[in-house]
Amino acid sequence: MSENLVAAKKALRAEIRERRRNITEHERAEATAAITEHLKHLVAARGVKKLSCYLATPSEPETRPFLSWAYDNGIEVLLPVSRDDGLLDWAIANDSPDENIGMYGLPEPTGELVGPIAINGVDLIIVPASAVDKQGVRMGWGRGYFDKTLGSMGKRPPVYAIVFDSEYVDSLPREVHDQPVTGVVTPSALITF
């Protein structure tokens, strides 16, 4: 792994964090509404009955309105729970607004906990990202949880990352372990590669 590549990704993540801090509440609300509609369309178009998603942090594009819609429409949703060993457990989403604070201060669900292999039964995976490029390269936040999960799956369903419009870029630095995504969801577009 090149030190220059690691440094470039670290600098880019810092820049994205700074840009996200400057997004207004109004811009965030508009982005949430648009992303929710794109996700609803994606689920309907693919006939999804079971998916995995995540609880957004305050700086990420918000996922909770979509999760509420999925729950109300009978779609089973698995939400990630970080483990010390770098793997993800999954919890079955419920209609409770209660959340736990997990590792790294990330929001985690309170639903029934199931093991790491539970994700193998989903029809669609929705992942967080700091940025995605036009070749489907996803850059996460540097902990590798989703790359490990996606890399360990024998038969992987479609994987879509959610980012703000400015985070869908021409190209990103890529390391060997970085797992590509099938598509990206931004406020402006739903793109399949």
Domains, the chain, ranges and CATH? Answer: 3-192 (3.40.50.10420)
Q: Give me the torsion for CA of 6, 156, 126, 20, rounded to 10°.
A: 10
> 3-class SS at 89?
strand
Bridge partners, 160 (sequence order):
126, 183
End-to-end CA distance of the chain: 26
pLDDT digits (tens, 9 = 90+) for 137-164: 999 887 778 998 988 888 999 999 999 9
pLDDT score, position 104: 65
Percentage of the chain modeled with pLDDT above 90: 65
Q: How far is CA 126 from the centre of its chain?
A: 5
Count helices and strands (H / E) in the chain: 4, 13
pLDDT at residue 1 tops 70: no
> Whole-angstrom Cα distance, residue 43 to residue 48?
5
Percentage of the chain modeled with pLDDT above 70: 96
pLDDT score, position 145: 87
Tokens standing for residue 162:
């959610």
Cβ proximity of 139 and 14 under 8 Å: no
pLDDT score, position 25: 94
Sheet holding 113-114, edge to edge: 113-114, 88-92, 76-82, 50-52, 124-128, 159-162, 183-185, 190-192
Q: Mean pLDDT across the stretch 26-38? A: 97
pLDDT score, position 99: 74
